[in-house]
Structure 1
Amino acid sequence: MLTRRAALMGAAGAVSLPIFARAAKAEEALTPAAAPADLSKLKRIRRELVAPPFVHEHEQVAPGEPRIVEFEMTIVEKEIQVDDGAYLQGMTFNGSIPGPMMVVHQDDYVELTLINPPQNMLQHNIDFHAATGALGGGALTLVNPGEKTVLRFKATRPGTFVYHCAPGGPMIPWHVVAGMVGSIMVLPRDGLKDHEGRRVSYDRVYYIGENEFYIPKDEAGVYKRYGDVGESYLDTLEVMNGLVPSHVVFNGKVGALTGDNALKAAVGEKVLFVHSQGNRDSRPHLIGGHGDLVWEAGKFNNVPDRDLETWFIRGGSAGAALYEFLQPGVYAYVNHNLIEAVNLGATAHVVVAGDWNNDLMEQVVAPTEMTGI
């Protein structure tokens, strides 16, 4: 495997070797020596992950005692078209950017089978911000191409959390900005609560993962395109270190959640928006709507804020906002750094069906030509 790892990076091979060595040593040092936990009496269920912005089937209130919830996720290295003429050598969980959202309840056990197929070039792992110990599981899940591993952890804290790849050293930010980031939602066993402790529910949940990409350009200002992920490393590293992204997008590319891909809702529906950012701060805003209840830091033990116009997502975290749509039409869900929303791509649309309410807003006089000037 060492020869393969040296070759996979092409020109960056010599740089990559000490990085991989450090990652392997970290894994060995943190491998625990303890008797296996006896969870044989717990019920097991299997959830099939779906690509964002959608979320797999789940209950909002836990149906009984804690369970072991099984997931399987495959790492896919592939080229992704981010915009016209702009291609990313992406690294993904299950082929999507962001990776799929997992949903469990507090005190459930998450059991993930993580697969790194032999056709991939790089080592990968997974760090769950929802987990406790071993670098969020990253120290126990480092897999080379052609390997798989199974990690189980207890979801002790309710909320929305980021997960991401963290194989060690400079590989960590590169893998994250190449797409290897996702989210897990740990619901309270008795469901979400409002600011007065009353149970609230949602009719739909949408997962919006915000990513910034650093796609290199040539001397003529044209985006470069690479044959594989290893070939792209050195140029991408140089752009990354400048901290100026070429794109800031929702769900992997410009326009991923607009046009035919716009999110859908109806007047009277309550929609839970889960928003994650693995690397930079963001500020979601729903143009024409509000955050009725907002768990800005994403942690459901905390009392939600109310009636927010814009909320803050810290880099390396996920937050949640619940809104009941009251008017039909097209709503823009944006990063309210409007330069990033309009010029770099961080915009989604929600198309809402239903009847207009003139009591909430009415066009008293339509635009007409002014006279007498």
Structure 2
Amino acid sequence: MSANQRVVGNFILEGHLEPAQVQSYISEGNVKSWLLLEPEGGANCPASAVKSAGLDFACVPFVKKESGFPTESARSLISALDALPRPTVLSCSTARRASAVLALYLTHRQSDASCEIAREGAALSLARALDLKASQEPSLASWLELCSKEMKRSDLIFRQLFDTSGSSTYTYLLGDPASKDAILIDPVLEMVERDLAVADDLALKLKYVLNTHCHADHITGTGAIKKLRPEVKSMISRASGANADIYLLPGEKVCFGERYVEVRATPGHTDGCVTYVSQDNGGMAFTGDALLIRGCGRTDFQQGSPETLFDSVHSQIFSLPETFRVYPAHDYKGRHHSTVLEEKTLNPRLTKTKEEFKSIMDNLGLPYPKKIDAAVPANMVCGIQD
């Protein structure tokens, strides 16, 4: 233990620990899990020792930025703690951030509603009542107040829609319940009327249509939607080379009302593949064809590269909190979603080494895509049909 140690129920708040101190926790057998709030791999990182001992380990970096501590990390931190058995060590450099996370978590779990904090300021009040270090640091106190307000928001409106016309494509509708602004991800031409009807039934105002990449197995519904709803803007990665109203770059955020998705570049299936990440509803990653449930997109056409795809998935998707849900562009076995943890541990291709992955992808022997000759040219011009 360190001089910063504080025990609160089944939680142990810790500051910087030397390897011998980490080993002491493990040897005593009084903890079952560990949540690290620093980037994994830093000096004296406890990850290796904790995992080797068979304890559950999670890492959700919680680091101050120029604008303060990020409120979007709140749900990821709560989800991570939900998944860990007790007793749990929460560690950072001084235990201050750990105390803020614990105050937020305890308030969240004590509230009457499953996705709300009971009242504004409750987390900060609890931190003060428990005399936690976070209550004495203005930036963390501000973070607790902001999180309390933000988490009182209603859950994101979310619908997963399936293409019944043959491509087994998933289209995703995301809406902000306050403003009713919405986005649509990966629409299919044949299903446009269905998609718009769902949005209308929910009283949503479609703002943007996003594609995860230039698809080869279906023609996007983007162009048809723009003809029916001229106010809607199309979006795609600049690296795709396809036409769109707005080109997206890695790290940008697509905002709709008070919500947003973050753009992460995940090339390898095609040069322009991106994953859209939402912090809402416990965390969601819309991975397109880069990562499928227990699989991935093929790499034998459209600038495909096994090595690039392997690196993309591991650096941009597997680096997300393990509780985040994975929503792919396709599934052919009736599955609806996975999680980052499931794919990191169970994906039969991406759990291999890069060399093994390349060998698998180079020898799939898949047939030429049926619609590629029609789909790709159409999708390069936003799916607009003459």
Query: Which of the five TM-score ranges fits, normalised by the shorter chain?
Result: under 0.3
TM-score (norm 1): 0.23
Structure with a larger share of its residues in helix = 2
Q: What is the TM-score with the length of structure 2 in the denominator? A: 0.22
Q: Which has the higher strand share?
A: 1
- Ranked by relative contact order (alpha carbons within 8 Å, sequence separation 6 or more), the top structure is 1
